[in-house]
């Protein structure tokens, strides 16, 4: 009788665990900087990131959307502050991670203001430095090194990584948006290709729309304060392009969670 009760207890525990695994509703984790979530991410703010509006395109009975982006962070500091580790604690098989970094990666490596920069490129270069913010020695790697870690870590959990190239700034040259196709937009694509991740060329998708549909004067209204951060209208345009990018990804089941 005692053995029967033990067996029954173990059966119930295993069955309950299996049921929760089968019923796991996937989570879409979004990580990035202030161009993805500005401030607290609420629509009351003048400046907005595209991640604050992406959830409206998804069927939330099929997926949970969690915007964990935060202003001022680079691909490096999102990790060193422990934010990525926190996501890794809950990340499960079948979840998704959309990542967009780059705008803050060109900052100094060890300045007393933020110390958030990364080495340019996608190689294995590194430099030992003292971080005056964290008050400790730190080895700083390339932009590509950090982006590769996100992709590899996500895959190790059975999650699906999606790399986005950074949104363009309101910078113009010869009547066209100045593009970063020799730096961060290129490096994001190269990392996605090298690591076998899905890729959304957000930088060029948005740039094309700015060039052909809106023009310099209209685009200026999307950037009320400076050349990097959009208002709500600009953020919604960017969110729409992310959705278009998701829809274009072959063999990516995330598109099945979009509203029809």
Under the banding of pLDDT at 50, 70 and 90, the label for residue 13 is very low
Residue 19 has pLDDT above 60, yes or no: no
Contacts of 98 (CB under 8 A, 6+ apart): 28, 29, 30, 31, 162, 164, 200, 242
H or E segment at 99? strand 96-100
Residue 225 has pLDDT above 80, yes or no: yes
Residue 166 has pLDDT above 70, yes or no: yes
Give percent above pLDDT 70 in the chain: 90
Under the banding of pLDDT at 50, 70 and 90, the label for residue 42 is confident
Single pTM value for the model: 0.90
Q: How far apart are CA 97 and CA 143, in angstroms?
A: 18
Q: How far apart are CA 221 and CA 202, in angstroms?
A: 20
């Amino acid at each position: 009788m005692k053995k029967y009760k033990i067996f029954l207890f173990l059966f119930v525990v295993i069955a309950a665990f299996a049921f929760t695994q089968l019923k796991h509703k996937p989570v879409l984790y979004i990580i990035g900087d202030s161009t993805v979530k500005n401030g607290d991410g609420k629509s009351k703010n003048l400046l907005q990131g595209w991640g604050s509006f992406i959830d409206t395109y998804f069927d939330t009975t099929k997926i949970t959307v969690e915007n964990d982006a935060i202003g001022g962070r680079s691909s490096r500091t999102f990790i060193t502050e422990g934010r990525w580790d926190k996501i890794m604690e809950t990340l499960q098989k079948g979840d998704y991670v959309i990542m967009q970094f780059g705008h803050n990666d060109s900052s100094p490596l060890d300045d007393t203001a933020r110390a958030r920069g990364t080495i340019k490129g996608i190689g294995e270069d590194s430099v030992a430095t003292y971080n005056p913010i964290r008050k400790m020695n730190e080895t700083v790697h390339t932009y590509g090194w950090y982006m590769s870690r996100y992709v590899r870590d996500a895959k190790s959990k059975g999650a699906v990584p999606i790399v986005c190239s950074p949104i363009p700034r309101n910078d113009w040259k010869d009547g066209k948006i100045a593009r970063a196709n020799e730096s961060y937009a290129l490096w994001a694509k190269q990392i996605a290709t090298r690591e076998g991740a899905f890729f959304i060329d957000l930088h060029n998708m948005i740039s094309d729309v700015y060039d052909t549909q809106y023009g310099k004067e209209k685009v200026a209204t999307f950037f009320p304060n400076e050349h990097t951060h959009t208002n709500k209208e600009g953020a919604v345009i960017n969110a729409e392009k992310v959705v278009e990018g998701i829809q274009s990804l072959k063999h990516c089941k995330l598109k099945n969670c979009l509203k029809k």
